[in-house]
Every structure is written in structure tokens, then in C-alpha cells.
Chains A and B, each alone.
Chain A
Amino acid sequence: MKRKNISLIISCLILGIMALAAIFCKQICPYDPNAQDLTSSFIPPFSQGHILGTDNLGRDILCRIIYGARISLFVGIVGTVIGFAVGVALGIVSGYFGGIIDTVIMRVGDIQLAFPFTLLAIAIIAVLGAGVKNIIIVAVITGWIKYARVVRSDVLAVKKMEYIQACKSLGLSHLRIMKHIFPNVIPAAIITATLETGRIILMESTLSFLGMGVPTNVPAWGSMLSAGRTYIMTQPWLCIFPGIAICLVILSVNMIGDWLRVFFDPKAE
């Protein structure tokens, strides 16, 4: 248990520092992340005032990673929140009303799960075009069903409970009854949300890596990796550091998710 807490604290610290750095990036970065200076390209890490070195265009890698955190965290958080709202709402409606509504919602979800999600994401981006807004749309489209499924099964169990029957006999409206059901589905939905945040951040960097993410003038971890790929033989630091940033964030989010799972359901471990 103790070891668990230490990894939880470290994870929260990492995410906290990243979030603060992302918010105050303008104040803490000594360099403009997009300022090109070909005379100082490929400076190795820990030299000439560039802690993580510079890339092929002489841009400071640490600053670009900090600015990249803004995109990753923003997409991760907003994508998770919207997906949560949509998925939980549809899950409650699906489980509460049952019948044809339930069938339609769940079958649409089935169809969606039949696509390998990376492929679905890329197909949607191919149609909508790149950009932060579209990445969030993709995150919601590929994510809502995960909440809807766990929430629905919770609702099916809660629906049979006496207090819900009591609500019904009191003649409460459907909306009011669903409000009473809502607190019961929160734990499962929150656990799903932490898993989703990691997935969405990974998806954003994947799309950026493939050149289908944010515009090229915005620093993002995925696009830094794909740009650095060309120089892996000679200047590997271009690839190493953005990847570490992605790993740290996803690792931290997953750790917190693991902890939450045990917190809400101690038997799970």
C-alpha cells in the first residue's frame, strides 16, 4: 500500500509540474519555441544554455516540449471531459429506457468498436482535416462508447433498487430519476476517464507523428518526434526527449487510474 502511495505522489507531482509549466510557458521559457536560428542548430543537450539541446532549425527542445505539453494536456483534458459527458449521458439513457433506444445506442457502439481505433481516428481526420478541434472530435467519437458501456451496466443494476422504484411510484419525471441514478455511475465513469486521458494523449501524439495532428507551426510532441526521426543516426536527442515526455505523462495518468480503481473497489487488487 505504501509503495502505491509513493508512485501516486510522484505521478501527481509530474502531472502538476507539467501542467504548471504548460500554463506559465511564456514566463519560464527563455527561448521562443518557433524562433529559428540556423547558426545554432543541432546543439547537443546540456550545452550552450540549451538544457535539452536544439533541433535541426536551432529551436530549443526544452521550450518546444513545454509548449507541446499545452497541446497534449489541453487535448487530453478537454477530450476526456466532453467524452465523459456524452458517454455518461448516453449510457444512462441507454440503461434507463432500454428497448429500442438501448439497442440503437449499443449497436452504433458495436459498429464503432469493430474499427481498430487508430484506423478510425485517421479515417476521420482524413475527412475533417487536421487541427486541435478535430482531434478532440475524434477523441470523443472514439471514446464515448467506453463510458456508455460501463455506465449502462451500472444503471441496469441500480434501476432495480428500491429507492429508484420509490422515485417512480412518487411519480418523478424521468429526468429527476436519472439524476438520482447519476451518483451511482460516477466511480466506474471516473476510472474509465483516467484510462481515456492516457489514450487521448497517446492518440494526439500518434496523429501528430503521422502529420495529421496540429498545424506544423505549433510545437507538439508527436510532430517533434517525426521531424527528429530523420536525424536519429546522428542527432538522437531530437527523438529521445519528446518521447520521454509522452511516456511520463501517460505513465502518470495510468498510475492515478490504477490507484483510483483500487480506491473505489478495494477488492479489485
Chain B
Amino acid sequence: MTPLAVQALLQVANAQHELSTGHAIIASIIKLLIIFTVWMVTVALLTLAERRIAGWIQDRQGPNRVGPQGILQPAADGLKNLMKEETEPANAYMPIFRLAPAISFIPALIAWAVIPFAAPWPSPWGLVPMVLTDLPIGYLYILAVSSLGAYGLILAGWSSANKYALLGGLRASAQLISYEVALGMSVIPVLLLTGNVTLSSFVETQAAGGFNWNILNLTMGFFIFIVAAFAETNRLPFDMPEAESELIAGYHTEYSSMKFSMFMISEFAAMLTISSLMVTLFFGGWDIPFTSWDNVAPWSTAKTLATLAVFVLKTGFFIFTFMWVRWTLPRFRYDQLMALGWRVMIPLAMAYMVIIAVAVLVLDRVGLSAGPGQAMALFGLNLVLLVGMFFIFDRGRLISPAAARVSPSELARLRSVALRPPTTAEARD
């Protein structure tokens, strides 16, 4: 490291000193490069993890030849994609066709900037917060940036001049915007309890008193969030935009080589972001449960490493859940998907928000405004709501199979049409 960079780091988090702008930029760049590299390597390894887990679930090996346990497979894939000839459809609208991968790539790779991933690290140069930047708008930043990715998908689908790609792009845009509403609303109860939108304050509130995770306070909010998160990342059971058996590869049918890679990278990066967001919102972020050792000063390297390990573990679990669900649940039908989004998720999220608001108000009135008492009361309320919700969500009531849609009278009419002999006009056809 150059002396200038060391000097910048020396001053980076030393709150007493105001950094000069030049030093602030250098310090930010160093931090950014380190975190970004680790993040990108993780994303690359996720593509391997996806295939290895798929192999494990289907009782086969998966890619295990390139390097020990196939660990270098992502590098080999990347190199191969870089060297592949790129085909471009003759009818495609080229400016947008070339720009679309970048439009989906950029938001996916900048959305993680506000997620805190460990306790602050007391470096030799001052206390370094383990987050790229703790924006005061925190959650709103993620919401705003991640929704930009939808443009990439719809533009890719439209500009390819391919009917399957167009359908994939349309489906993607309709699906993303439908579930974004539910995603946004399901987080409002978290804001109600936290009273802030920065992600560090989410962690702080949930770490209070050792264990105050929102998964207990807002269990149902988490369920709404995780369903919306699956839809937002185009993962099964909501992978309509790239349903292989229906649409070839959906919006990226016509893309090859590095442009295809860019779509893949943004998809996996989005999955990583939403998993770590889930951890931060509902599972205490980097907090180690049942102890306050990890979230009080004096900070130490051990605390940073321990909290980082816990964060990685929690996020890894949700990543695994994403891949696990892929091989567990079949794909929805598109009308079921839209019905679930607009007729179930949105009213559910709205009703839940009002219920939690009333509950917080009532608990404030009886004096249970914080701590274990409030958590237990809210958890009890959530259990009651969940029993009701799962009863309604039971198979056939809400997401009905195709046959159950038809009313008995309609069925009788269809049968009579099918069974009677055709009229002369019909016979002529």
C-alpha cells in the first residue's frame, strides 16, 4: 500500500478528524475494492454452489473436476464465456440489445452497499465500520436500486426480436412490479418497531437485550417478505420469466457469451443481496444471539471475525433455502402467480401492517413498549395469525388447480356439451 493510502486509512474512521476530500476518496476506494472483490468471488462461488446442491439433491455429483471439489469451475466458466463467439440476432434493436445486460448488471451489483456484515473493526488506523456506507436512507436505497433491474429484463426481452424473449421480458416486468409492492409493505412493520430506515439501526434494535430478533416479533412479515423475495429474484417457484419448458430461456434466450454471463451474475448477486437483507431485517444481521458480548464496545478483531462468521452462516442458510426450494416446489402458473401477488400478498401485507400498528399502540398503552414482554406478546399474536393464514393457504383454497376453478353448474354444462352429438353446423366445421 502506498504511504498516501496508509495515511488515508489512518484517518478514515477517526471521528475527531475531518478527512480531506482526497483522503476520504482514497480510503473509500480501498474499502470498496476489498469488499467488492470478496462479494464478487462469493457470487461466482454461488453459481458453483447452485450446481453442487442441485447435484446433491438429485443424488448425483455435480461439477467436481476443475480444482478440488470443482472450486475453480466458476473461473473456467467465466473464461469460456469470455472466449465464446457472440451471436447477435439480425432483427434485434442493437443499441438496447447491447445495453440491456449492463442495465440489469449495474443495479444488482450496487444494491449491497448499505448492508452491514460485521461488528466494527478496530483497525490500527481507527475504527472501521463493517459496511461500505451506512446511508441514512438505508432500506429505501435498496428498494430503489433493486427495482431498476426490471428495466434490464424488459429491454432485453423486447430488443431481442424473439417471441419467447418478448414473453419472458413481459412476464418478468409484470412479476417484478407486482411483488415489489408486497415486498415494500412487508418491511413497514420492521420500520414501525425500529423507528428508522438505516440498516445499522435494524441490527442495533434486534441486538438489544441479547435477543430481540424480528423473526419473533414479526414472524408473518418474514413469510410475506420471503415469498416476495423469491418472486423478485425470479427463483422457483416463481421463475416465469425464464421458464425453460415454456419459454426456452425467457428474456435472455438470444444472449450468449459474456452478455449471458452478466445476466447470470446479476441474478446471483440479487439473490445474495436479498438473502443478506432478509438476515438484516428479520434475523438480527451480524448479531450473535443470546449474548451482548458482540455488540458493545470495546471492539476487537475477534468480535469482528465472530460476527462476520455468524452473518455468513445466516446468509448462507437463506442462499441454501433458495436452492433447496428450487428442487422442492413446482412452478406456478402465470395467472396463479399474478393472483397470489395482487389478491393475496398485497391485502395480506396491508392488513398485517395495520394489525402490528394496533398491537404496538395497545402494548404501549399497557406499558409493554420494549424488551422481552413486547417481543413475547407480538410473537403470540403472530402465532395466532400464522395458524389462520396457513389454514387459508391450505391447498386448493387459494391457489387452486385448474380443475377446481370450474363451478359445478359450469362443469355440468361442459359435460352436456361434450356428451351430446354435434349439431350439423358443428359437424361441418
Do A and B actually bind?
Answer: no
Residues of B within 8 A of A (CB): none
